[in-house]
Structure formats: C-alpha cells, structure tokens
Amino acid sequence: AVITAVFICAFLVCVSAALGAQRTIEYMYLAGAEVTEQAQATLVASFEAQNPDIKVNRLRVLSGFPDKITALIATGNAPDVLNLANTYMMSFADELFLYDLMPLVQNTPELQFSRIAPPLLEVFTVDGKLFAIPNTAAPSVYVFNADLFDQSGLSYPSDLYRQDAWTWSAFREMAKKLTVKTPDGRYLVKGAAIHLPRTWLYSNGGQEFDDVKRPTRTFYDSELALETVGFLHSMMWEDESVAMISALTSHIGVNQEMGMAQGKLGMGSVWFSTVTTLAEQLTTVGLVPYPKGPSRAGRYATDFGSYGTAITKQTGDLDAAWRLCSYIAGPAGSAVAASLPGRTPPRPVRITWLPSSVINPEVYSDLLIAGTNRLVSINQNQLQRIIDSQLQAVWNNTVDPKSALSEITRQINAFLTQNPQ
C-alpha cells in the first residue's frame, strides 16, 4: 500500500510538471467567414499536435480588426501573435509595437525562407525590418469558362499563356468573339469583366505610385497609365465586349459569379480563394494571370491581398510565439493550408483543394512571382477614393481618359503634399 501511494504521488508530480511545462499564447486574427475560422482552427490544431508544450488560444475577430488591435496595444493587453493584412502594415510597422522577425528568420533554417515569394516579403518589410512573415498570398486571377471557349472555337487562354502569347491583344480578340448580342441590343454573353485597373497598369509595366508604403507622387500622368486606361475604355465602348464588375448586372442581368455559372460571361477576375466556388458551378474553369501589356516592360501580373503573422512586443513568450509564426508560414503549415478550401500559402505548393476539373492549376506558383503590391499607405482609402471616382467617369464614358488621369494626378499629388505618408 505504501509503495502504491508513493507511486501515485510520483505520478501526480509528473503530471503536474508536464502540465506546468505547457505554455499558453494568444493568436488574434480576422475571420468574418466561417470557412476562414475553420481554416485557422485546423492550422492551430496542427501546430499544437506538433508542439504539445504550447497551447494556442485563438481570438477570432469578426470585424473592426485594426481598431481592436489599437485598443489592446494601448491598454497593454495585446495578444502574442497577430494575423495582419497587408493593408494594415503601415499602421503597425513599428518596433514599439511589433518585433522585427528577421533575426529570428536567420536562426530558423527549417523555415526555408527563400521559398517565400519575394513580392510578399516586400510588403511586410518596412525600413529593412520584417514586421510580419507572409502566410497567405491571396492573388487575383483571371478565370475563363472553358465551355464558352469550346462553343466559340477559341483556344484557351491557358494555351496561349504556355506559349507566352497571352497578351492584351489576345484578350481583346477573345472578348470580342465571345460577346453575343441579340438584334435589339441585349447581351446574351459578355466577353469579359474588368476588376482591378491597377493590375492592368502593372501588366503594362507601369505603377500607380513611387512607393506603395510612403508615396510622394502618383504616376497616373504617365504614358503607360494613359495607354492602359485608354485600352480598357476602348474595349468597353468601341468593342462593347467588356464591362466593369460593378456594371455587369446592367449588361447581362446577373453578377460575375452567376454570369460565369450561367454561361453569360466568358472571362472574369476573381481572388484565387473563390475559384472553388466557380468550379463547383461550371463544367470546366481555367486559370491565367492578367495578360501581358504591349509596352517593352509588359508582364504577366496579379494583385495580392496578402496576410502576414506578426509578434507583438507585449508577448510574454517570444519563443512560443515565433514557433507558431514560423510553423504557419513554413513548409509544414503551408502544406496544411494548401489542403484547406480557399487558403493560398505564401510559397509554391500544389493547391490540393482545387477540383480536378480546373485547367492550369499549376499557374499558382507563377502568380506568386507575378504578384504586385497595392497601395498600403496610411491614407490608402482616401487616395483610392480619388482614383476610383475619376476612373468611374471614364467607365461611364462621361470623361475622356486623359482628362481623368490629369485630375487624378492633380488631386493625389496635392493630397500627398498636405498629408505626407
């Protein structure tokens, strides 16, 4: 009996020690959609299974993420780890709030840091310091309805892409041939939808600003910008083969997703994470980047809505926080993410959640290299409103492209002079 009692006591001591050795950290992220919450839960569970000494308390935020972070930092209650959108970076990229992760990266060879897409690293690096390590790419991609292409006798955009012949002119010709109107002018099929004018500008070798983080001037007065906006305008009003996503309903009676599903739209621009929804509604859907523009600097392009994992200066366990960050962004976490619907890892991996019917799924790795970063400055929303309002007049055909671009340049440069970023 004495031996048994001693054994039980020893066992309880061991259990207590084991429990005491487990550390707890907090991880805060935005997850308005349930599929995002499920993905975060799966990633954290996978991490905990491989790191049994660490318990992660997930803190889901449904909306108002930046305001919640600001309030928590101000009261000294910030969580250990944050999942930050690229658009939040310039509000929090400061060593008063976040750790520079580069010294930790340099001591973690198993992270395979060089495999992370350089454009993603660029947006999370400020003044030479890496304030978040990319975990999600969220690239945009052009999708095409293969059935409509078959019916029209057209080659697939993916075939042209593989031949390095996926160009603006090819896109334009395809859009015109796909467009079908009734004798009374109603659209049965619209050739393509236009989503991100800035990405068309990137694909022509141009850029919106001299610096996406701290811009001092815009380049909307450039010849490349005029060529880009003029091209989009001519497809809308001369060819009548494309429309802005926001105007699709007035052309074909439904939005982009339903237009693709109902065979009323040939090509559309979506975020990669939504491809599975389209693939479930179409017999076959294909993927390509934005086509290459005609300038000498023309290139294939995409746009990132990326996220990165950051560690707050208020963490009480830097080691545990870094282990979570490096796992999510590393090879193991990326492999898990690649199997979760809608997740887009920051490194070239096979996206296994894509349906087998999708054409050209391997383009994902190319998108990571072709990616460009949008404006992420402090006053990004105000600047974007200036751009959108003036371009909308072009899409409505009430202002010519050159006049609109001149006004964008005037307003933005005046704003930046008064409001340094």
For the entire predicted model, the pTM comes to 0.92
**What pLDDT does 1 receive?**
46
Q: Which is it for strands 125-126 and 54-61: parallel, antiparallel or unpaired?
A: unpaired
What homologous superfamily is domain 24-137+306-347 in, according to CATH? Periplasmic binding protein-like II (3.40.190.10)
How far apart CA 44 and CA 155 sit, in angstroms, is 43
DSSP codes joined into one string, 57-121: EEEEE-S-HHHHHHHHHHTT---SEEEEEGGGHHHH-STTTB---HHHHHT-GGG-GGGS-HHHH
**What pLDDT does 20 receive?**
53
And the tokens for 205? 């070798």
Per CATH, which fold does 140-303+374-418 belong to? D-Maltodextrin-Binding Protein; domain 2 (3.40.190)
**DSSP structural state of residue 238:** I
Domains 24-137+306-347 and 140-303+374-418 share a fold: yes
Query: Can you give the pLDDT of all 421 residues of the chain as single tens digits?
Result: 434 433 433 343 344 334 557 899 999 999 999 999 999 999 999 999 999 999 999 999 999 999 999 999 999 999 999 999 999 999 999 999 999 999 999 999 999 999 999 999 999 999 999 999 999 999 999 999 999 999 999 999 999 999 999 999 999 999 999 999 999 999 999 999 999 999 999 999 999 999 999 999 999 999 999 999 999 999 999 999 999 999 999 999 999 999 999 999 999 999 999 998 888 887 789 999 999 999 999 999 999 999 999 999 999 999 999 999 999 999 999 999 999 999 999 999 999 999 999 999 999 999 999 989 899 999 999 999 999 999 999 999 999 999 999 999 999 999 999 999 9
**What pLDDT does 281 receive?**
81
Q: 3-class DSSP state for residue 143?
A: strand
**What pLDDT does 24 receive?**
98
**What pLDDT does 119 receive?**
94
The answer to whether 204 and 297 are in contact (CB under 8 A) is yes
How are the residues of the chain apportioned to helix, strand and coil, as percentages rounded to the nearest 5?
Answer: 50, 20, 35
The answer to whether 192 and 242 are in contact (CB under 8 A) is yes
How far apart CA 302 and CA 142 sit, in angstroms, is 9
Task: Name residue, tokens 């010519």.
Answer: 400
Q: Where are the domains of the chain?
A: 24-137+306-347, 140-303+374-418
pLDDT tens string 215-258: 999 999 999 999 999 999 999 999 999 999 999 999 999 999 99
**What pLDDT does 264 receive?**
97
Q: 285 pairs with which residues across the strands?
A: 145
How far apart CA 145 and CA 121 sit, in angstroms, is 33
**What pLDDT does 283 receive?**
73
Average pLDDT, the chain: 94
Q: What is the total residue count of the chain?
A: 421
